[in-house]
Copies of this chain bind each other. A is one copy, B any other.
Amino acid sequence: MNITEFAAYAGVSKAAVSRYFNGGYLSEEKRARIEAAAAATGYRPSLQAQMLRTRRTRQVLVILPKLSSESCARMVEGISAILEESGYQLLLINTANDSSKEIAALNLLQQNTVDGVILIATIFTPEHRTILSSLRLPVVILGQEYPGFCSVSHDDRGAARAATAHMLAKGRRRPGFLGVTMKDLAAGLNRRRGFEDALKEAGLVPSPKRANIAAFNMEAGYEQAGSLLAREGDLDCLFCATDSIAIGALQYCRSHGIRVPEDLMLAAVGDSEAGRVAYVPLTSVQLHYRMAGRLAAQMLLERLAQPHAQPQSRVLDFVLRPRASTGDDASGEDIWAT
């Protein structure tokens, strides 16, 4: 049934029907007639026709690198909750860590198929900036700050600093670092800086020799932990940029007879489920992923309402979760997921 048929059925004009569904002026009498007719027929306006006519799709695109990563999934859950409340639909593109797909996804936006975009950040190239700047629709970057654009991110530097400082406060003096590519500003650069902040505050000098770079997975953590520990045998604590890497490092320790925390303390950022239940529960820093997703969605909705407001950026705090990998005795409660 279309609006013409429905209007005839309800005995009103098409315009009245349109006003009913869009909150325009309407006499009580017509409103009641239309309401009854809608209940009787189940008529709903065609979204496609509305999209064509109004040039708004009420759809938001979320672009992310890897859905099966716990952090991404949680952020999308947050986004989804807010969008749903507001009657927006969520279009998802998983780029599977393929930068060219990310670019392709952004280019797709020029087809105006969505009202706004949330981009879960990874590595930004100049090409990203070019495309993002040329976009005429609201964009929110989630996961790192990005000058000139709205963003919601975590205090990665503070998180890394807190995790490292926690180990140094326990008397460790030879800290190692297992990080990720510095091209990733949040997990790479900022967490490295936070690590170094903690060292300096403790009167230590960061040494590049005591740092290795790994890919974003457990296996890389295992390998790089091996390479680092073989080279720098006297480390007494190790900060890892992500839980996955730390878990890989933990596996390495387990299979090579290195006792955690006695011989080597371990701390990371991310507070993943796997880390909480690992063979030595992993001290980690909890970031508020779901909340970040919610805020990003809210920020986008505000932008949709007021397209010309100044870009704003929001940085969320963190919670250190001390566990056995730094010699802390976690309360039982602590391990259950939020």
Q: In the complex the two chains form, is A42's CB within 8 Å of B77's CB?
A: no
Cβ of A277 under 8 Å from chain B: yes
Instruction: Judge if A100 is at the interface, Cβ distance under 8 Å.
Output: no
Residues from chain B with Cβ under 8 Å of A273 in the complex: 218, 274
Taking a contact as CB atoms under 8 Å apart, the answer to whether A218 and B51 are in contact is: no
Shortest beta-carbon distance from A79 to chain B in Å? 9
Name A residues whose Cβ lies closer than 8 Å to a Cβ of B. Answer: 42, 44, 46-49, 51-52, 55, 57, 59, 66-68, 70, 73-74, 76-77, 80-81, 84, 89-94, 96, 101, 110-113, 217-219, 247, 250-251, 255, 273-274, 277-280, 332, 335-337
Query: Which of B59, B81, B111, B279 makes the CB contact (< 8 A) with A278?
Result: B279
The CA-CA distance from A277 to B93 in the complex, in Å, is 30
- A89, closest chain B residue (CB): B91
Point out the residue from B51, B76, B84, B110 that lies within 8 Å of A51, measured CB to CB: B51
Task: State which of B57, B74, B278 has its C-beta within 8 Å of the C-beta of A277.
Answer: B278
In the complex, which residues of chain B have a beta carbon less than 8 angstroms from the beta carbon of A66?
77
Interface contact A48-B52, CB-CB below 8 Å: yes
Q: Bound state CA distance, A49 and B113, in angstroms?
A: 11
Cα of A101 to Cα of B84 in the assembled complex, Å = 10
A94 with B67: CB separation less than 8 A: no
> What are 14 contact pairs spanning A and B, CB under 8 A?
A47-B113, A48-B48, A48-B113, A51-B51, A67-B76, A68-B70, A68-B73, A80-B93, A89-B113, A91-B92, A219-B337, A273-B274, A277-B279, A279-B279
With known contacts A113-B47, A218-B335, A77–B94 Cβ distance under 8 A: yes
Q: Contacts of A274 on B, CB cut-off 8 Å? A: 273-274, 277
Q: Which residue of B lies closest to A57 (CB)?
A: B48
Known: A52-B49, A77-B67. A277 touches B247 (CB 8 A): yes
Across-interface contacts of A278 in B (CB, < 8 A): 277-279
Known contacts A67-B80, A274-B274: does B47 contact A111 (CB below 8 Å)? yes
| Interfacial chain B residues near A42, Cβ < 8 Å | 110
Cα A217 to Cα B73 with chains together (Å):
17
Residues of chain B with a CB closer than 8 A to A80's CB: 67, 92-94
User: CB-CB < 8 A to A332: which residues of B?
Assistant: 251, 255
